[in-house]
Amino acid sequence: MANASFKCIECNEEASELYRDYRNGIVKITICRSCAKPVDKYIEYDPVIILIDAILCKIQAFRHILFNTQINIHWKLCVFCLLCEAYLRWSRLQSSEVTSDPSDIIRYAKEWDFYGMFALASLELGVYCAGVLAASWCVQNLYGVSVDTSDLLKALLLSCYGKVLLIPAVIWEHDYSPLCFTLIRVFVLTSNAQAVRVILNCRRRLSVFAVGVGLLVETCASHGLHKLQTSSHALLPELYT
C-alpha cells in the first residue's frame, strides 16, 4: 500500500501507507509521524463498529471512510436516498387524500405522483448540493486551499445515508413520526456538516455555515417549486384517468 496516499484519522496529516505487511501473518499498523498515533486504527475494526462511530459523527470515522477506503457507492446511495425521500412525500400525499371513489384506484395503481415526488426531491438535492459547494468554495478561498469538487460532492452524498431511516419511520407510523422525521433531517444535516469539515479540514463553524447556506437555498427552491408541485398534482389525474 506504499504507492497510495492516505491521511491520519487523528491529525489529518498525509501518510504513504496504513500498515506494513511483513508476511507470515505479521502486520504492523503505521504510526503517524506528526501525532505519534496509529494512522488508521479502523483498519482492524469490524465494519459495524465503524458504522456506529460514523452514526455518532466521529471525525475519525469520517476520515477513515472518505480518505482511507475505496467506497464508490455514493451515486447508488444517492438514488436510494432519493427514493426514500420520494416515498415519504408520496405517502404523506396519499394519506391526505383518502377517498372512497373507485375511479381513484387506477390513478393510485399508476403512481404518477411518486415519480413527481422523486423529481422534486432530486431537484431540491441538486440545489442543496450546489449551495453547499458554493459556500465551500468561499471557505476554500478563505483558507487558501484547493479541494476537488468531486471529493466534496462524494462526501455530501455519502453523508446523506441517514435518509434510509425514513423508510422504517414511514412503515411503522406512529404519533411521534413527525418528530422522527425532524430528527432524521437534523441528523443528515449534522453528518453533512461533518463531511464538509473533514474534506475542507476547516473549523466546525465554517462547515455548519456551508451546510446552512445549502439548506437556505434548498428551502427557497422548495417554496418556488411548491406551486409547480400543486399544479402538477392537480393536472396528472386528469391526464391519466
What confidence tens digit (pLDDT) does each residue in 73-113 have? Answer: 999 999 999 998 988 888 877 666 555 454 555 455 456 77
Shared domain check, 118 and 63:
no
Give the structural domain span for 53: 6-67
Residue 148 lies in a domain: yes
d(CA 41, CA 121): 37
Of 122, 149, 131, 7, nearest to 69 by C-alpha is 7
Say if residue 150 is in the same domain as residue 51. Answer: no
Domain count, the chain: 2
Q: Are 168 and 113 contained in the same domain?
A: yes
User: pLDDT at position 224, please?
Assistant: 83
User: Per mean pLDDT, which range of 20-34, 45-59, 179-193, 222-236 is the poorest?
Assistant: 222-236
- Examine the fold and report which residue of 15, 33, 67 is the final residue of a domain before the chain moves on: 67
State the Cα–Cα distance between residues 188 and 125, nearest whole angstrom.
12
Question: Is there a single domain that holds both residue 197 and residue 82?
Answer: yes
Helices 112-143 and 149-158, packing angle to 10 deg: 130
Query: Is 144 in the same domain as 173?
Result: yes
